[in-house]
Structure 1
């Protein structure tokens, strides 16, 4: 469900919504990589180097609370271990997983060029979610799958299919997922707010 190119440009309202979804200020959002059918952000594409100088490998960041919680339940159910067993036993699946890694890196380069961050050697060749050999974070794979569209990140696609009872791309579940009338968070307590030592 790749957005129309015009829809990718984050608007101020998008950044406010992401801040409310995450409970912290949105940071270094370059694109909205996937949207709910109602238009709210689902996935934010983040610059590969944050404005405070820290390298940030997770390019496609899930922001929607319902989607994030559903993926967390999959992780808690042991789905990642099952996927890792399958990757070890199925060369075709492993090859598709490696291809998703290459796509992720190419997209990060594109996002980095758009953000003007230039090359980020600290994360060169490193994608996210355990790519290219393992599964370590389904949130990263699902974010990539939503950003890239079906068929690119096969395990991200599988995870999306597995949460269909809670979330599907053709149904809005935004009402009640966050408080749109709450004050937009301005204080970031994330570990990524520290600055690099010079």
Structure 2
């Protein structure tokens, strides 16, 4: 294992995460992305939870407004359109495959878990299955790493550049 590139979660972060998730956060190894106001938006999660459960979703989207925005896109069938784009655009497919490999490398720094070997998240590397996971990866890794996560964020009503944490229904 290597030193985490992510700041560790503070007690205040864990309290916000509890509020965001409606339960205690599990296996947090760091805060991978924050809202412009400083609240956690994406957590990096251990590939094996404290109870021993394998957990492939290394980048876990926690921000309530971001999760709602991804749910709205999924309900609007945006995943079908993104899957079509993935099938039709060889360059996009190659970039998405590289995103999958980057995700696996990031998670592997926190330990190899045989049960989830080669499994990343969100349907990578061949399909779009969960925009929450792909947006979480895009936010944590930065623009240009996960092209489908980037597209989902661009299509959504939520922006990482605008804080909505104090609005009703959002944690903060």
- Normalising by the smaller structure, the TM-score range is over 0.9
Q: Deviations over 1:71-130 (max 9, x none)?
A: 1000110111111111111111110110000000011012x1xxxxx3201101110000
Match of 2:159 among 147, 162, 168: 168
SS at match of 2:154: helix
Match of 2:125 among 123, 132, 140: 132
Shift of 1:33: 0.3
- Answer 1 or 2: higher relative contact order, Cα 8 Å, separation at least 6: 1
Cα distance in 1, alignment partners of residues 62 and 97 from structure 2:
25
Residue 90 of structure 1: aligned partner: 89
Query: TM-score normalised to the size of structure 2?
Result: 0.93
- Aligned-pair Cα RMSD in Å: 1.2
Cα distance in 2, alignment partners of residues 148 and 109 from structure 1:
15
Query: TM-score normalised to the size of structure 1?
Result: 0.81
Q: Deviations over 1:164-190 (max 9, x none)?
A: xx321221100033465xxxxxxxxxx
Equivalent residue runs for 1:4-23 within 5 Å: 8-23=7-22
Cα distance change, pair 179–61 in 1 and its aligned pair in 2 (3 A) = closer
Cα distance in 2, alignment partners of residues 178 and 168 from structure 1:
14
SS at match of 1:81: helix
SS at match of 2:108: helix
1:142 aligns with 2:141: no
Residue 39 of structure 2: aligned partner: 40
Residue 189 of structure 1: aligned partner: none
